[in-house]
Amino acid sequence: MKRTMTTLGTLMAMATPAMAAGGMETEGTSLVTILLVGFGALIVVGQVVPALVLFGGMVKGMFKTTAAKTL
């Protein structure tokens, strides 16, 4: 077990510089990133619209004058 852990540790230490190396693919914003941000914005807008409708109804209900009912 000790030998396996030592081997894995050595392989990971040697692979670290290769993972940190950048190339052409690291420059700029990729299409996937733009789509992910757009999807997140769509979710936020989809949650804000019903919230504003509910808030409007709440404000309308607060300032609504009601007549006292007599029996």
Tokens 């769509």, residue located: 42
Burial class (CB within 10 angstroms; exposed 0-12, middle 13-18, buried 19+) of 56: exposed
Q: In whole angstroms, what is the distance from residue 57 CA to residue 55 CA?
A: 5
Tokens representing residue 57 in the block: 């109804």
Displacement of CA 30 from its chain's centroid (Å): 17
pLDDT in tens, 25-42: 556 788 899 999 999 999
Region 36-65: what's the mean pLDDT?
94
Confidence of residue 66 (pLDDT cuts 50, 70, 90): confident
Between 20 and 37, name the one with better pLDDT.
Answer: 37
What is the per-residue pLDDT for 67? Answer: 65
pLDDT at 9 over 70: yes
Query: Comparing C-alpha atoms, which of 60, 62, 41 is closest to residue 52?
Result: 60
